[in-house]
Amino acid sequence: MPKVTLKGFIIVPESELEIVKSELVNHKRLSLEEHGCIRFDVTESLENPLRFDVYEEFRDKSTFEHHQARVKASHWGKVTVNVERHYQMVE
């Protein structure tokens, strides 16, 4: 199976920026610890502090889907419910 790459960005509501930034450290750590995670980068934009650029690579579709399910049920999933997501996925 080919690897799965997700890239794009998120826009965080200003009123939720501090909680999202606070939880981001934990979100990155847990994602990188997942079986099948090759790369996981979320970087705050220098031009727009509400924008975070996202780049993820997973070994295959199965490990990517596992990541998505874990994230949805996680604390990160709860604190980012109002975040705008703009992603492209490539298999």
Residue 91 has pLDDT above 90, yes or no: no
- Average the pLDDT over 2-16 and give the result: 97
- DSSP 8-class letter at 2: -
Q: What is the pLDDT of residues 14-35, one digit of tens each?
A: 999 999 999 999 999 999 999 9
pLDDT for 41-51, tens place per residue? Answer: 999 999 999 99
Q: Return the structure tokens found at 4.
A: 């799965």
* pTM metric for this prediction: 0.92
44: number of CA atoms within 13 Å, CB side? 12
